[in-house]
């Protein structure tokens, strides 16, 4: 069943007498609207005196605006916000939310709809009721537009603050400045930061970033999203399930490696973590079997080859130095094993020990460093660490 909307008149006409009645009773209607608001909206009575006066002024402007809207049909295509809110749009948004603003309009319309037609001459009652309904619809759309524009402005400002935080972390600015920028974006996590870096898709506009941020907050207490050049960067705090969370957002990155790094401390001291993730993303193409996503620690050799000082330090202090400190021939054993073709027998002959001794030492190497020399990838990491240690 279809409705012929073409049969509805485009404009509403009332007599001059009806307009005069409306103008004469503006004050009375405003008073009755105020009483209606107090009785119907519980939150209205919790506002301050100035806030209630501001809302009553808006109601008064709305009733007066109805008369102007009826008198001048040409003005009906013009925005109603300036006439209705005057200089107070910002004050209105600070006072009440959009939901309450629409409740306010609905309550005002109910009060006017119940009282106004009875004041009109009988022929003008139906068109006046229709005018109230049409006018209230226009007002609701106008106020919703004000709130939508304000939300867009806040979103753009928030994006700029997030970009500044990402830049401060990557540049390793002083901890006080990073903490200040984190507080500006509402960062609440005291400890535990995950930095994810990968290729940015096309286009990475504000809508995309907002959607990605909503996906991140499903598994992280804090989520900051930024784009630098062709890189998409996530700063995550309070992550509950990293593996599941990364699988959720992985599709939002472009084609190419995605690398993450973790820091157990506060975001103010997460600069090294972010730099490691960024360096890992740059060095990942050197490893043809880089997983997606990959931890920055898995890419230590490639990062070291690319000149990352943090990777070089991690390899020498985290692998070479502990092996040397452990003694018992561990350093010599891993050197002979990785350079002698990964053969237990060849290593045993070179070191003049039994093969079981080699097996025991290789097990100890895994316990000391966390890398298993019997795994090809781990052996490559150990080999690189030994080379850096000699340098």
Domain residue spans of the chain = 11-153, 171-297, 309-390
pLDDT of residue 181: 87
CB 283 within 8 A of CB 249: no
Q: What is the pLDDT of residue 2?
A: 44
pLDDT digits (tens, 9 = 90+) for 222-231: 888 888 888 9
Determine the topology of domain 171-297 in CATH.
Alpha-Beta Plaits (3.30.70)
Sheet holding 231-239, edge to edge: 220-228, 231-239, 193-199, 259-263, 294-295
- Right CATH number for 309-390 from 2.60.120.10, 3.40.50.720, 1.10.10.2840, 2.40.50.140? 1.10.10.2840
Q: Among 66, 65, 67, which Cα is nearest to 83's?
A: 65
State residue 88's pLDDT score: 47
Q: What's the mean pLDDT in 169-196?
A: 88
Structure-model confidence comparison of residues 276 and 140, the more confident one? 276
Q: How many residues does the chain have?
A: 391
Indicate the average pLDDT of the chain. 82
Average pLDDT over residues 93-112: 74
Q: What is the pLDDT of residues 4-36, one digit of tens each?
A: 444 445 566 777 888 888 888 888 888 888 888
pLDDT score at 78: 43
Q: Is the pLDDT at 145 greater than 80, yes or no?
A: no
pLDDT of 160 higher than 80? no
| Residue with more model confidence, 144 or 254 | 254
Weakest-pLDDT range from 137-151, 211-225, 363-377: 137-151
pLDDT for 152 beyond 80: no
Local structure of 224: helix, strand or coil: strand
Quote the CA–CA distance of 159 and 165 in Å, as a whole number. Answer: 10
Alpha helical stretches, state H, the chain = 16-24, 26-40, 49-71, 81-85, 89-95, 98-119, 125-170, 175-184, 206-216, 242-249, 271-283, 300-305, 309-315, 321-326, 330-339, 344-351, 355-369, 376-390
The residues facing 223 across adjacent strands are 236
Structure tokens at 152: 């867009």
Among 146-150, 180-184, 232-236, 302-306, the range scoring the smallest mean pLDDT is 146-150
- Nearest Cα neighbor of 218 from 249, 185, 187, 182 is 249
The Cβ of residue 101 has, within 10 Å, a number of other Cβ atoms equal to: 20
- Pick from 308, 309, 311, 328: which is nearest to 319 by CA? 311
Identify the pLDDT of residue 151: 60
pLDDT attached to residue 259 = 95
- Highest average pLDDT, of 50-54, 131-135, 173-177, comes from 173-177
Q: What is the mean pLDDT of residues 31-58?
A: 81
**Lowest-confidence range among 74-83, 215-224, 291-300?**
74-83
The confidence band for 258, taking pLDDT boundaries of 50, 70 and 90, is: very high
pLDDT band at 155 (very low <50, low <70, confident <90, very high): low
**Amino acid 25: pLDDT:** 82
Per-residue pLDDT tens digits for 308-360: 999 999 999 998 888 888 888 888 988 888 887 888 888 888 888 898 998 99
More confident residue, 45 or 387: 387
């Amino acid at each position: 069943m279809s409705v012929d909307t073409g049969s509805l008149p485009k404009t509403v006409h009332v007599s001059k007498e009806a307009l005069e009645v409306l103008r004469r009773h503006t004050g009375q209607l405003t008073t009755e609207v105020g009483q209606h608001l107090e009785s119907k909206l519980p939150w209205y009575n919790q506002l301050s005196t100035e806030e209630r006066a501001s809302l009553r002024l808006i109601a008064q402007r709305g009733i007066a605006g109805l008369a102007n809207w009826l008198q001048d049909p040409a003005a009906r295509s013009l925005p109603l916000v300036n006439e209705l809110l005057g200089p107070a749009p910002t004050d209105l948004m600070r006072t009440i939310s959009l939901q309450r603003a629409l409740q306010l309009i609905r309550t005002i319309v109910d009060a006017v709809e119940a009282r106004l037609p009875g004041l009109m001459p009988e022929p003008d009652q139906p068109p006046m009721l229709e005018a109230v309904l049409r006018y209230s619809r226009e007002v609701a759309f106008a106020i919703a537009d004000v709130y939508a524009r304000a939300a867009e402005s806040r979103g753009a400002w928030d994006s700029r603050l997030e970009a500044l935080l990402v830049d401060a972390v990557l540049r390793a600015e002083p901890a006080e400045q990073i903490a200040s920028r984190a507080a500006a974006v509402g960062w609440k996590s005291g400890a535990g930061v995950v930095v994810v870096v990968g290729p940015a898709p096309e286009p990475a506009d504000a809508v995309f970033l907002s959607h990605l941020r909503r996906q991140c907050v499903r598994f992280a207490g804090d989520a900051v999203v930024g784009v630098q050049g062709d890189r998409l960067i996530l700063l995550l705090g309070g992550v509950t399930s990293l593996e599941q969370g990364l699988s959720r957002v992985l599709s939002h990155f472009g084609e190419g490696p995605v690398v993450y790094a973790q820091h157990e401390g506060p975001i103010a001291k997460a600069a090294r973590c972010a730099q490691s993730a960024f360096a890992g993303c740059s060095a990942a193409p050197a490893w043809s079997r880089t997983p997606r996503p990959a931890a920055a620690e898995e890419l230590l050799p490639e990062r070291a080859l690319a000149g990352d000082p943090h990777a070089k330090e991690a390899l020498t202090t985290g692998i070479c130095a502990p092996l040397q400190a452990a003694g018992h021939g561990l350093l010599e054993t891993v050197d002979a094993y990785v350079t002698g073709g990964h053969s237990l027998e060849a290593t045993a002959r070179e070191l003049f020990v039994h093969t079981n001794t080699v097996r025991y030492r290789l097990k100890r190497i895994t316990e000391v460093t966390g890398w298993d020399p019997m795994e090809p990838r781990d052996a490559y990491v150990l080999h690189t660490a030994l080379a850096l240690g000699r340098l």
